[in-house]
Structure 1
Amino acid sequence: MQFQSYNFILYFMPLCMAAYFCGGKRAPRAGRGILTLFSAVFFAFAGWEALLVLCLSALPDLLLTRLLLRTREKEQGASIEKAASAKRGGEREAKLLLLTGVLLHVILLVYFKLSHQLPLGISFYTFQQIAWLTEVYHGELREVGAKDYLFYLFFFPKITMGPLTSPSALITQVQDEKRCSFRAENAAAGIQMFAFGLAKKAVLADTFGSAVTWGFSSLSTATSADLI
């Protein structure tokens, strides 16, 4: 599903916004769950295979996040006498967990790159997954769970084409209860930003994208004037 398609503008986005504000008004976590569900539906339009790869790649992170958080809790809970040794041991364990996660995602990305069968958005969400594990490792994300991770990973505005966002910044925004209730000024600002971004994509990105695609496919026949 493309952001400029009628299905997205007339059906998906209004339904998503209505469901989010209705659910988020009661509880912020409910709002995040609704956004995650709609994001999965959005991604499924690219094919169930792409959604399956995304879900499978998320499983190791759920386990690694839990282990990293537990490691940090052990360090903080150690007695004064054992604090130094606990910190050294915890740091080694945390580094190993982080390295494991990074290697898993890099190997998965390289595999699909070499097989020439890239699932939708894998280049973007691979780096997002690494960013999540890195922030958990550094203690920038502490009180987070599986729902927070899945929301960050699946969030549809950025999963297919970016931009790469800081996990802690995005989670902090959606935890703000003021953002979970409908406000006319926020809706107006959001629609304005969406319209401006859509215009840039339709007028600039798609136009120049077609030219760039033609250029790369015609390198053997194009003249220097064509490339300029």
Structure 2
Amino acid sequence: MLFNSYEFLLLFLPITLIIYFYLNSLKLIYLSKIFLVVASLFFYSWWNPIYLPLILGSMIFNFYVGKLLGKKSSKNMLIFGIVGNIALLGYFKYADFFIENFNWVLNTQTPLLHLALPLAISYFTFQQIAFLVDNYRGEVKEFNFLNYSLFITFFPQLLMGPIVHHKEMMPQFALKWRSYIKWENISLGLFIFAIGLAKKSLIGDPLTNYAQYAFDNAQNLTTIEAWYASTSYVLSYYFDLSGYADMAIGIAKMFNIDIPRNFNSPYKARNFADYWRRWHITLSRFLSDYIYKSLGGNKNIVWIVYLNIMITFFVSGFWHGAGWTFIVWGLLNGLFVIFAHIMKKANLEMNLYLAWFLMFIGLIITRTLFVAKDFSDAWYVIKTMFNPYNLKFEQLYYIDPIFQSFYIVFGLALALGFKNSGEIAKNFKPNIKYTLYTAILISASLFTFSSAKEFLYFQF
């Protein structure tokens, strides 16, 4: 079920809120949690119920491994749990990738499995690995399967994060005041949700339409079209994913639950190290806490620190997609982050505007690898962007260039020149002005639902 759909906004969300808080008002706290888990699983299985046993089996496995780790901190048990999670993710997400490369190296004809990627498997796998490691470190104090199920399945963050820790979310459900409806949180949550919905529906989707069509015809792009396609994708990716994150934060707030924000104006960064501190923050936190720091982090000699950074970004690239373009994308990001560290270590400072410009150009080039079907398309687009003899709109007539120019300029202006949703929400007051803002954003977004697009991260 999509957040940007009539069935979610007009049926699922209000019904779930009403029943949850009604059960809590009767002091049926245990039953309200059961209801919220069932509702979340219904939300998940709306997409494809065939994968419901998969997430349930994964939850049962990780809960009992975590419980054993809580009783006895066994490194072998931790390894067993992590390997089990990676094996599940690897089978569904990477099996065909390994078979393709096996066939290429050995010149064999092993048939591909063509497995459909289960929704949210990348997210709930990482979240459960974090749970196991936190158990091993003694940071989880409570073991209750119902609470654990709610921790994994809580529908606002189930499909695309943020990746949360047990210790930062579940204690909130234990606080008595959070069990009762708070109208100020309902209004604030709706406001944040409306911002995210508008980012996705009114800005992200139109940008995505052009970018996807253009990259499907990558070998026909002219120089201007290549820049339009790449810039459109960079912007659409931000508004799509950050829009989801805002909607998740807003929905959770309606349930009196605070989940961490995932974006902090990443396109205002002036180098890649700063960019990755602002972009997909909970994923960066996971990679830092459980991979980079486990390798020794920055507590080694310089070249090992840089090697740790490259390994971390290799994992990031491979997590994002089962393809060599994703791996190279991750490694390029690692190199750019290392370059930022070298600059800082050498006390070299660049003009702020030049630094931002180079960062953003680097972002556009690396994202081309991310979206292109293969290296051939990616190389053609990157090469064409810097071809001064092909400056024209000629091949693609799918979108009016004036129309697309408006969306690119508007998207850049919002991403670079205005406060982000978190900053705007700090000034929120439950008054007529903010009620009007909320109503306008949601009403305008409703008109797009008939042509609503999936979130881009669903494919990862």
TM-score scaled by length of structure 2: 0.43
Between the aligned partners of 1:207 and 1:147, the Cα distance in structure 2 is 41
Counterpart of 1:2, as a letter, is L
Could you say what the CA RMSD is over the residues aligned between the two structures, in angstroms?
Answer: 1.8
Name segments (4+ residues, structure 1) moved above 4 Å: none
Question: For residue 33 of structure 1, what is the aligned residue in structure 2?
Answer: 34
Larger mean CA deviation between 210-219 and 105-114 belongs to 210-219
Between the aligned partners of 1:175 and 1:54, the Cα distance in structure 2 is 24
Give the 3 Å change call, closer, same or farther, for CA 218–106 of structure 1 in structure 2: farther
Between the aligned partners of 1:61 and 1:212, the Cα distance in structure 2 is 39
| 1:12-161 pair list within 5 angstroms | 12-25=12-25, 26-71=27-72, 91=73, 93=74, 95-113=75-93, 114-115=95-96, 116-161=115-160
Question: For residue 177 of structure 1, what is the aligned residue in structure 2?
Answer: 176
More helix by share: 1
Deviations 1:133-190 (A, max 9, x none): 1222222211131111111111111111222122211112222211110122121111
Give the 3 Å change call, closer, same or farther, for CA 193–118 of structure 1 in structure 2: same
Between the aligned partners of 2:214 and 2:84, the Cα distance in structure 1 is 35
Larger radius of gyration: 2
Question: For residue 208 of structure 1, what is the aligned residue in structure 2?
Answer: 207
Larger mean CA deviation between 213-222 and 138-147 belongs to 213-222
Between the aligned partners of 1:198 and 1:120, the Cα distance in structure 2 is 20
Q: Which has the higher contact order (CA 8 A, sep 6+)?
A: 1
Give the 3 Å change call, closer, same or farther, for CA 226–132 of structure 1 in structure 2: same
| Identity among equivalent pairs (%) | 30
Counterpart of 2:7 in 1: which secondary structure?
helix
Between the aligned partners of 2:138 and 2:203, the Cα distance in structure 1 is 40
Counterpart of 2:204 in 1: which secondary structure?
helix
Counterpart of 1:163 in 2: which secondary structure?
coil
Between the aligned partners of 1:223 and 1:140, the Cα distance in structure 2 is 54
Counterpart of 1:20, as a letter, is Y
Counterpart of 2:3, as a letter, is F
Between the aligned partners of 1:206 and 1:64, the Cα distance in structure 2 is 41
How many residues align? The count is 207
Counterpart of 2:142, as a letter, is E
Q: Is contact 1:120–1:160 with CA below 8 Å preserved after alignment?
A: yes
Question: For residue 167 of structure 1, what is the aligned residue in structure 2?
Answer: 166
Give unpaired runs (5+ residues) of structure 1. Answer: 72-90
TM-score scaled by length of structure 1: 0.83
Between the aligned partners of 1:98 and 1:136, the Cα distance in structure 2 is 9
Between the aligned partners of 1:21 and 1:179, the Cα distance in structure 2 is 10
Counterpart of 2:10 in 1: which secondary structure?
helix
